[in-house]
Structure 1
Amino acid sequence: MTISLEQVHPLIGNKFQLETSNGVMHLELVEAEERPRRGIPENFRTPLLLIFAGSSRQPLAQDNYFVEHPALGRHIWTVAPTLADHAKGQYQRPHEDGGTCVYYQVFFN
């Protein structure tokens, strides 16, 4: 299944479930955007970037994880830590567990 911006954009603010070696954890989808094509031939998809927020108390390493959401089903995605975007007010955003948020990206090209 190919994930599209039209599918994920309405899910901003939703929690996605990840299976990790330490058990299940949840990440909140905070951003979804198509990236510039930069010469990619038309028969290839437009790159899609998803940004998730999680707890600083349970940081994740870059790895492949089973990711599940009721609207999208279950997939294996490569999840990688990324820096908070200061321009978007992500720096030191509080997490619901009392820690601060850390950010992760999933990139489809």
Structure 2
Amino acid sequence: MAWVSLVVAGLFEMFGVGMINKLHNDRNWQSLVLLILAFGASFMFLAYSMKTLPMGTAYAIWTGIGASGGAILGMLLYGESKDWRRLVFIGMVLGAAIGLKIVS
């Protein structure tokens, strides 16, 4: 259950990053509320997963999901570069996260 919670925390972090961009572009209170809720939920699920998982592993996975997911969201929704090198490095981040799961 801790791993599921950690993935959910990462997904909420991705959503929060998307809301940062939306708030930057739109400047409305709905985006701010969603941003606060997303990061609040992300921290809550991260804290729950850290009751079972080692801190270093949980934090690395959480930031990996957030960073790579944020980059992918930028490519899909905001027209950011889809250069093959970006995809290779995103794959490396995800590979490292999977490696941490395997050895934990």
Normalising by the smaller structure, the TM-score range is under 0.3
What is the TM-score with the length of structure 1 in the denominator?
0.24
Q: Please state which structure has a larger fraction of its residues in strand.
A: 1
What is the TM-score with the length of structure 2 in the denominator?
0.25
Q: Give the number of the structure with larger relative contact order, counting CA–CA contacts within 8 Å between residues 6 or more apart.
A: 2
